[in-house]
Copies of this chain bind each other. A is one copy, B any other.
Amino acid sequence: MSLRVVVVGGVALGPKAACRIKRVAPDAQVTLVDASKLISYGGCGIPYYVSGDVSEHQQLQETSFHMVRDEEFFKSCKDFTVHTETRALSIDRKAKTVLVQAQDGTQSTLPYDKLVLGTGSTPRQLPIPGRELDNVFTVATLDEAIRIKEQVAGGKVSSAVIVGAGFIGLEMAESFADMWGIQTTVVEVADQIMPGFLSPVMATIAHKHLEEHDVTVHTSEMVQSIEGENGKVTRVHTTKRTIDADLVILAVGVIPNDTLAREAGLLCSDRGGIIVSKTMQTSDPDIYAGGDCVLTENMVTGKLGYYPLGSLANRQGRIIGTNVAGGRETFDGALGSFIIKLFDYAFAGTGLSLPVALREGFDAFSTHVIMSDHSHFYPDRDMVSLEIVVEHHTGRVLGLQGACQNGDSVKGRVDALAAILKFRPTLRDVSNMEMAYAPPFGSAMDVLNAAANAAENILNGRAVPVQPLEFAKLWENRVQENLLCIDTREWGNAEPFATRYPEFWKNIPQGQIRNRLDEIPRDKKIVLLCNTGGRSYESQVILRHAGFMEPVNLQGGMGFIKQIGFDPSQDD
């Protein structure tokens, strides 16, 4: 008899696994059930459907050759059966059956030889009054997205509040503010946007950029209740203010849907999420699980973590398909690579950010570089800002974050580092990484190489850095700190600062510093700076060689400083 497979869940992992099973084992009888009517859509595309970049919701369900992935498509093209609006109620592992219930209440029993769980995730609920009001959404499904778009495209929304500054929250914020001109406010309980993903300095850059595009962002602020009239939302009350809102999005993260697995006695984490092996098998070897409902090993820390990312779901789905069909493939783990478009910028990262690395117990530091993505003499180019995260002593590279107006450029650098993270690279692997070079597309020494070089100079004690956010604080306390900034750029760049703050900001171009050492006081805290941190590093070498006590070098220079919105020439 041919292999009977039941797949629960029809968004990303389920269809991927089912299709793969049929390609490897064409005789297999595969049945997929999903509780929703709309299945197999690109969930990550929802913000672009709401914004109008993607005009029809069907496009999110279409293949690249414009066929809608519905029941009929899967039957005729992929040869498996799909039951939509059919909920999996329970698993009888002894009998090897799944009890399912259709929309009309009819229950039936599906026998399986192998079972695949792709039950996905559910938006985390906020236990606040008013969350049941009309126009309060969670963007959990395509159905919900359709209702949101009806509201915004119908001109019925003039102000919106988004609770949670994670990926979905910020992408929805851009969509509302950019395409529909809605007065948009994001409220985030953490002290920065994208906590756990972006480092503080990258978050500061993104935050500033959002505000420049008319998205109001309040961090360190908690939503306490949602107020409404006639059943419809009108206002949001936070710990600090009241905000008018015709529409509210609750986007405070997702939790794994592990109830079906848990009730069947499969091993799950106390904190949520199904535990699976590298072959994507649950504690019952005939039951596989993957995607948003499972925990995945982090390849940098070696610890289990939760990575609800469509890219991982697809990769895991293919591995499950191979294994269910009799093969043996393993999934190495996750890095948590991400990229997000926020108006004119893309922010991307992989591995551990500095706060996460420190929290995970690594003796880590990070450094910042800024450089153009293409040759600095080629006319078409954008600046790439990178922050590389490194373990002290070993020089092991733990992660990378980046920002650039050219998203493909920053993605390329992040993906290249991500590719080697599982091999436990050290700085020399990144410093010497060979990257395709021609002036229209890169530099002979790439910004990624430069990041590793800068970190290596710190590791070896050749460079003593001050980070952009630290510098902003130092500047605030410049009197108490007895601070002197030495601007190693030419006068044209230094002038606005040096003339405004002659006591604290002195211009000595890098080429002159050797002969002007006696102008530099030995009793002040010296910060050396230039546009990117390169010339000031050269100056630091000279000053240290001349016996100055620990002059520090501003990492990423004024280029980075400008991006975080700190402008000493304007601040009083």
Contacts and interface: CB of A to CB of B under 8 A. Distances in A.
Given A53-B379, A64-B532, A79-B514, A412 B416 contact: yes
Nearest to A75: B511
A301 to B, nearest CB: 15
A330 to B, nearest CB: 8
Given A64-B371, A376-B64, A438 B44 contact: yes
Contacts of A535: 65, 77
A420 interface: yes
A368 interface: no
**Chain A: number of interface residues, binned into ranges:** 35 or more
B440 A377 contact: no
A338 interface: yes
A384 B441 CA distance: 16
Contacts of A510: 77
A390 interface: no
Given A77-B510, A538-B78, A441 B339 contact: yes
Contacts of A534: 64
The residue in A22, A441, A442 that gathers the most chain B C-beta atoms within 10 A of its C-beta is: A441
Interface in A34-63: 42, 44-45, 48, 53-54, 59-60, 62-63
A44 B444 contact: yes
Interface stretch (A81-89, A201-209, A211-219, A402-410): A402-410
A410 B217 CA distance: 35
B432 A377 contact: no
B24 A462 contact: yes
A45 B442 CA distance: 11
15 contacts: A45-B377, A59-B377, A65-B489, A65-B535, A311-B435, A329-B428, A338-B437, A339-B442, A407-B441, A408-B409, A408-B441, A409-B412, A412-B415, A416-B418, A418-B435
Interface of A: 12, 22-24, 26-27, 42, 44-45, 48, 53-54, 59-60, 62-65, 67, 73, 76-79, 167, 171, 309-315, 318-319, 329, 331-332, 334-335, 337-341, 346, 348-350, 371-373, 375-379, 406-409, 411-420, 423, 428, 431-442, 444-446, 449, 453, 462, 489-490, 510-512, 514, 530-532, 534-535, 537-538, 541-542, 545
